[in-house]
Amino acid sequence: MDQQSQFFYPERGRGVLLHGLMLVFLVLIMFAALWSTTSWAEGSMFVLFMILIVILTAFIPFVFYRLYALLNARYILERDGLRLRWGLRTEDIPLTDIEWIRRANESGYSIQLPVFSWPGAFLGEKSNISLGSIEFIASDLNKLILIATRHKVYAISPKNPRDFELAFQRTFEMGSLFPIESRSTRPTAFIQQVLKDRFSRYLLPLNVGLTVLLWLVSGFIIANNQQLPLGFSPQGVPLELVGSQQLLLIPILGLFVLVLNVVLGLFFFRQPDFYLIAYLLWSGGVITPFLLVISMIILSFYP
């Protein structure tokens, strides 16, 4: 990026507040579900709480990533092109590829939103009869700007749309001397890059495989025992017997560790200086389910 780079940021206030409240609410539900499963839930209620915990274990990182992406989002206008940055999503558009820009509420087009969109995270693609494919990389519908290129239309939402329009007009009038190279990176491409790494290609599948094994072993043991101890006292004596279904908390713990280690590992893997931290996290994701499998097998000998 040269000295003429101009940075524009999306509106963050409502989005950060909404995502923060969502995370607090989801975490509270998670703790309430965990407390219920260990305290009073039995039978079908226990199974329902287990399903809820599994869903929350997957959904909480999803919301957290959207918050992280919003906090790090920016639109960078240069003399030779426009760079869009939103989490793991990056898009470099040469200035010569841009045909026009227009405020969405002044365009006259009826624009539908992608699924799973809310303030602070209007993300994804949606087809439009008049414009074709529209990719949303925005946080605020009231400040939406459409950027038409040769291949698709991008919808962005700089905090000060008027300032962005004026800056783009000045840049466009100057003309482009050396257009930037067109480049597009999506989260799926980043995952593919991770799996090409000589250590990650083995550690990540092992993380998933051992967690699946933990679920299989736990299911077999629970299905063949009506009651099992939920652990051991400091003296090594098995605790009071409980309904074996309560030991589903152990594979739930393994699933939680899997999601946490994978997400944090991917975060650190983005920067070469922190590769070692990612490897350590993913190594822990191998050790933890292995130890939990051993613990389930040991508990099965004390019905």
Which of these, 193, 202, 196, lies nearest to 283 by C-alpha position?
Answer: 202
- Encoded tokens for 173: 């009038």
pLDDT range class, residue 23, cuts 50, 70, 90: very high
Cα–Cα distance for residue pair 158/121, rounded to 1 Å: 13
Neighbouring C-beta atoms of residue 98, cutoff 10 Å: 19
Neighbouring C-beta atoms of residue 19, cutoff 10 Å: 24
- In the block, which residue shows the tokens 């939406």? 144
pLDDT averaged over every residue in the chain: 87
Q: Are 153 and 134 in contact (CB under 8 A)?
A: yes
Section 8-17 average pLDDT: 94
Amino acid, res. 68: Y
Residue 94, pLDDT > 90, answer yes
pLDDT in tens, 232-286: 777 667 777 777 777 888 888 888 889 889 988 988 887 878 889 999 999 999 9
Amino acid, res. 146: L
Q: Are 87 and 187 in contact (CB under 8 A)?
A: yes
Distances (CA, A) of 101 to 104, 147, 154, 174: 9, 4, 9, 16
Which of these, 279, 133, 275, lies nearest to 206 by C-alpha position?
Answer: 279
Which of these, 255, 256, 242, 293, lies nearest to 46 by C-alpha position?
Answer: 242
What's the predicted TM-score (pTM) here?
A: 0.79
Residue 145, pLDDT > 60, answer yes
SS3 label, residue 127 = strand
- Encoded tokens for 67: 């918050």
Neighbouring C-beta atoms of residue 218, cutoff 10 Å: 25
Position 303 scores a pLDDT of 59
Beta strands 183-185 and 89-94, pairing class: antiparallel
N- to C-terminal Cα separation, the chain:
66
